[in-house]
């Protein structure tokens, strides 16, 4: 993903406050005294943000419980263990950057961490090309310069598509910009703001490169890192109502009619859950919160794992960018398969491309992708297709997610900060959409949001 390649030019260090307590305990100045707080915290959502927030409260002996809608914790970190002989991730897969809390947690778990190669292939004029093939293609070079220059963007707040038009980028290379700048962020270039992306790139301080955990699933790693939290999670408990009319207690109702009370509430659910009104608030959420949400995007998206008997696209190939149904493909088995077989391609289809698949069956989507790959690789996709290793995940249709990840919209400056603003010092917001350092839409962004929110809560209650 170019987002992280671009940022390689910038060198930052991670603030000490981002150190994971159990991994970097020696760096902490001192352990704070056990606080006295006779209230209790409830966290809605057991994704990375909820788990880490709960861990921090437990570390301070503060009563905490997580209410989780689904039958497992991890949220958008989720293992698919039926179809593949390696940890196939349904959601988050790459660890972006080598200088952030998530990278330290994965490294500290003992996982074998490998760097994903940046050897990409580009579909141009109907054929697959290497960067070397395109070394003298002025349109291609202009597109890559456009992408690499985004962190320096200081122009008007436009969609990336409109910025591409303003820059007169030729049509034949526009899909490459779309794939690298927008699809990789869970959307399309007609929806995402170039200013928002540029601001995020400038704030990025999570390090360079992108990595796989080769031999452990990310869900297992979360499980190991937050094992103390697990007894405090109530699974299969979708919250449907939050009543904060009482000045002392916040009362929650779950889908089975169960009630739960707390003095502090932290909401970490994906923003589309709130946007859709799946949780009813009494009184209504303040206009500041809802208006902020209107300025943060979260689109539908698919991950389609396509298994093949033989790798026909190249063992060394990292990303494949096309202007078909899937703007991006990658090879999730690379360096991970027990049999050392790099023979799965994952198609990432986001935003308008995902919308265009509405109403299609999984089989129709797979056939469409195979047809497009056949055109690029001499019919080999259909010939080598292994149906038993093929799996379609539609995050847009998944209850309790309804989308992939948050992204900055035009006029979205300050929206994440506004959404993250607590209500009456009792209801707090965390989760990837409230990550404020350009790492929205990532696991480390979700973790970082938990550090912020726990600090906010402690300032209020202590």
Contact positions vs ligand FAD (CB under 6 A): 44-50, 67-70, 75-77, 91-94, 96, 238-239, 268-270, 273, 278-279, 301, 303, 395, 400-401, 404-405, 431-432, 441-443, 446
Residues, the chain: 462
CB of 221 or CB of 404, closer to ligand FAD: 404
CB of 346 or CB of 389, closer to ligand FAD: 346
For residues 71-99, one letter each, b for 16 or more C-beta atoms within 10 angstroms of the residue's C-beta and e for the rest, the string is eebbbbbbbbeeebebbbbbbbbbbbbbb
Q: How far is the CB of 399 from ligand FAD (least distance, A)?
A: 8
CB of 106 or CB of 128, closer to ligand FAD: 106
Q: How far is the CB of 191 from ligand FAD (least distance, A)?
A: 16
Q: How far is the CB of 364 from ligand FAD (least distance, A)?
A: 20
- Least Cα distance to 147 among 201, 93, 92 occurs for 201
What are the structure tokens assigned to 234, written together?
């109530």
Q: How far is the CB of 77 from ligand FAD (least distance, A)?
A: 5
Cα dihedral 303, 316, 85, 5 sign: negative
- Least Cα distance to 279 among 271, 357, 287, 346 occurs for 271
CA distance 229 to 149: 43
Q: 239-243 and 280-282 as β-strands: parallel, antiparallel, unpaired?
A: parallel
Q: How far is the CB of 33 from ligand FAD (least distance, A)?
A: 29
CB of 169 or CB of 200, closer to ligand FAD: 200
Q: How far is the CB of 118 from ligand FAD (least distance, A)?
A: 15
CB of 222 or CB of 376, closer to ligand FAD: 222
Residues forming a β-bridge with 453:
none
- Least Cα distance to 303 among 84, 89, 113 occurs for 89
CB of 161 or CB of 300, closer to ligand FAD: 300
Residues forming a β-bridge with 392:
304
CB of 174 or CB of 205, closer to ligand FAD: 205
Q: How far is the CB of 306 from ligand FAD (least distance, A)?
A: 15
Q: How far is CA 50 from CA 62, 224, 431, 434, in A?
A: 15, 15, 8, 13
What are the structure tokens assigned to 256, written together?
């089975």
CA distance 323 to 175: 5
Question: Which contiguous run of DSSP H or E holds residue 382?
Answer: helix 380-384
């Amino acid at each position: 993903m170019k987002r992280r390649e671009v940022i390689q030019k910038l060198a930052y260090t991670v603030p000490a406050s981002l150190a994971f307590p159990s991994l970097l305990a020696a760096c902490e100045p001192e352990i704070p005294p056990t606080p006295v707080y006779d209230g209790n915290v409830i966290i809605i959502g057991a994704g990375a943000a909820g788990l880490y927030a709960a861990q921090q409260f437990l570390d301070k002996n503060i009563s905490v419980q997580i209410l989780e809608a689904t039958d497992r914790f991890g949220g958008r970190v989720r293992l698919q263990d039926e179809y593949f002989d390696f940890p196939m991730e349904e959601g988050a897969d790459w660890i972006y950057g080598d200088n952030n809390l998530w990278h330290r947690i994965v490294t500290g778990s003992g996982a074998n961490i490998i760097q994903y190669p940046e050897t990409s292939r580009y579909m141009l004029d109907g054929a697959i090309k290497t960067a070397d093939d395109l070394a003298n293609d002025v349109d291609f070079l202009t597109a890559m310069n456009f992408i690499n220059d985004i962190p320096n963007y200081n122009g008007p707040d436009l969609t990336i598509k409109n910025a591409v038009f303003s820059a007169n980028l030729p049509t034949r290379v526009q899909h490459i910009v779309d794939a690298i700048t927008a699809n990789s962020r869970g959307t399309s270039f007609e929806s995402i703001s170039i200013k928002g992306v540029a601001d995020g790139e400038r704030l990025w301080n999570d390090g360079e490169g992108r990595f796989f955990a080769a031999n452990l699933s990310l869900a297992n790693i979360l499980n190991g890192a937050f094992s103390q939290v697990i007894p405090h999670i109530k699974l299969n408990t979708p919250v449907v109502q939050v009543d904060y009319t009482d000045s002392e207690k916040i009362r929650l109702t779950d889908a089975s009619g169960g009630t739960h009370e707390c003095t502090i509430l932290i909401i970490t659910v994906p923003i589309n859950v709130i946007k859709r009104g799946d949780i009813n608030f009494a009184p209504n959420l303040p206009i500041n919160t809802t208006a902020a949400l209107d300025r943060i995007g979260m689109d539908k998206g698919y991950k389609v794992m396509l298994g093949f008997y033989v790798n026909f696209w190249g063992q060394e190939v990292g990303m494949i960018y096309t202007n078909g149904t899937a703007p991006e493909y990658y090879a999730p088995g690379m360096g991970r398969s027990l049999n050392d077989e790099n023979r799965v391609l994952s198609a990432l289809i986001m935003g308008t491309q995902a919308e265009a698949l509405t109403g299609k069956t999984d089989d129709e989507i797979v056939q469409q992708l195979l047809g497009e790959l056949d055109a690029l690789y001499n019919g080999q996709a259909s010939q080598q297709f292994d149906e038993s290793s093929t799996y379609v995940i539609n995050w847009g249709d998944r209850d309790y997610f309804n989308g992939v990840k948050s992204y900055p919209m035009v006029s979205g400056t300050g929206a994440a900060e506004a959404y993250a603003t607590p209500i009456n010092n009792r209801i707090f917001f965390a989760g990837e959409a409230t990550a404020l350092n350009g790492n929205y839409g990532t696991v480390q962004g979700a973790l970082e949001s938990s550090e912020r929110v726990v600090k906010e809560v402690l300032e209020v209650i202590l």
